[in-house]
């Protein structure tokens, strides 16, 4: 079954400058936890224990975060502050972490292809950590998607309905309804203008990909913004085989920008921090 989860984390985080000038955007805290930790927790909840992270220059804090800090551990040993590290210790105990570097920023498709040596020839999940996803009612988004993968055995992308004026921020799909909240993808366009969008069903940062995607990415020409787009490779996969789009249960916050980040912060403060579930 699926064990691996890839986190493309080499991006510059320009929407959050100057905060992200010397700090990875994935390390921005939402209340008391960095964004990427929420993503890794969601992966572990879904049974994905082999965490692969595509990093880049200036991203070493990510590796330090998913490691022991002996000095700090020693300092707080036996005090009530130890509780703050319970969550991260669980991740270190139950997951493995591997890293590779993307030396040039050539788009999300290229970032995923850079992760190939860490993934090999098996299906895997992809999490874009700045999309923070929560579901207070039940399974996390990746858990929902892993369950679907077991049933359909093909690539699955998470989607949500967005304001038709916002399609230029997303990969947008069109498809045939094949079940509750499930579409078989017919068309996919990266960041279309509203007038060119095939629908208002937008891809968010959760994917389960079958490994044939790597070859398709290799064959993909630069697209929107001159970058190698995962959306274009997925479109080929949808034409040749099957790609399913899943309208997930839960809420997604776009933490790549100030508005979504503040909403996520308020939400996590209310539902996790104040209720003692934040560690
Ligand atoms: C990327 C993808 C886009 C997807 C989005 C989800 O865009 O290229 O298809 O809809 O993530 O967050 P980015 O936000 O990195 O520009």
Residues 6+ apart with CB under 8 A from 259: none
pLDDT at 278: 79
Inter-CA distances, 57 with 53, 62, 124, 140, Å? 13, 11, 25, 31
Residue 128 beta carbon below 6 angstroms from any ligand 1 atom:
yes
Ligand 1 geometric centre to CA of 181 (Å):
21
Q: Where are the beta strands (DSSP E) in 9-44?
A: 29-30, 33-34
The secondary structure of 226-266 as a DSSP string is: GS--HHHHHHHHHHHS-EEEEE-SSEEEETTSHHHHHHHHH
Give the pLDDT score at 241: 82
Residues 265 and 241: their CA atoms lie apart, in Å, by 40
Q: Which residue among 14, 128, 247 has the greatest number of ligand 1 atoms within 8 angstroms of its CB, and so is best to mutate?
A: 128
- Give DSSP secondary structure letters for 52-102: EEEE-TT-HHHHHHTS--HHHHHHHTTSGGGGGGHHHHHHHHH-EEEEEE-
Q: Is 131 in a helix, a strand, or coil?
A: strand
Contact status, residue 92 vs residue 41, Cβ threshold 8 Å = no
Ligand 1 pocket: which of 171, 225, 255, 261 to mutate (most atoms within 8 A of CB): 171
Tokens for 55, please give them: 């990093």
Decide: 13 in ligand 1 pocket, CB within 6 A. no
CA of 30 to the centre of ligand 1 (A): 20
Q: What are the structural domain ranges in the chain?
A: 4-273
Q: Please list the rounded mean pLDDT of every run of 10 residues in the chain (279 residues).
A: 96 91 95 97 98 95 95 92 92 98 94 98 97 96 98 97 97 96 97 97 98 98 96 96 95 96 97 88
How many CB atoms within 10 Å of residue 108? 24
Query: For residue 8, what are its two tokens?
Result: 């493309």
**What's the confidence (pLDDT) of residue 46?**
98
* Among candidate residues 137, 108, 166, the one with its CA nearest the CA of residue 248: 137
| CATH class given for the domain over 4-273 | alpha beta
Write down the residue that tokens 């905060």 correspond to: 19
155 Cα: distance to centroid of ligand 1 (angstroms): 17
**128, 8 in Cβ contact below 8 A?**
yes
């Amino acid at each position: 079954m699926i064990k691996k989860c890839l986190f493309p984390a080499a991006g510059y985080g320009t929407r959050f400058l100057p905060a992200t000038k010397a700090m990875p955007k994935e390390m921005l805290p939402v209340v008391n936890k960095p964004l990427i930790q929420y993503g890794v927790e969601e992966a572990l909840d879904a049974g994905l224990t082999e965490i692969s992270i595509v990093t880049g220059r200036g991203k070493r804090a990510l590796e330090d975060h998913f490691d022991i800090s002996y000095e700090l551990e020693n300092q707080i040993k036996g005090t009530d502050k130890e509780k703050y590290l319970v969550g991260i210790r669980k991740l270190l105990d139950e997951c493995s972490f591997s890293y590779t570097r993307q030396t040039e920023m050539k788009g999300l498709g290229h970032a995923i292809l850079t992760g190939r040596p860490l993934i090999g020839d098996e299906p895997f999940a992809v999490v874009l950590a700045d999309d923070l996803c929560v579901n207070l009612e039940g399974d996390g988004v990746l858990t929902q998607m892993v369950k679907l993968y077991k049933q359909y055995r093909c690539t699955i992308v998470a989607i949500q309905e967005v304001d038709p004026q916002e399609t230029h921020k997303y990969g947008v799909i069109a498809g045939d309804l094949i079940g509750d909240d499930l579409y078989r993808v017919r068309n996919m366009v990266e960041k279309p203008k509203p007038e060119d969008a095939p629908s208002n069903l937008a891809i968010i940062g959760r994917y389960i990909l079958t490994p044939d995607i790597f070859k398709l990415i290799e064959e993909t020409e630069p697209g929107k913004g001159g970058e190698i787009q995962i959306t274009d490779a997925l479109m080929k996969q949808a034409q040749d085989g099957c790609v399913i789009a899943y309208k997930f249960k839960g809420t997604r916050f776009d933490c790549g920008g100030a508005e979504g980040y503040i909403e996520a912060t308020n939400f996590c403060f209310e539902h996790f921090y104040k209720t003692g579930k934040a560690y």
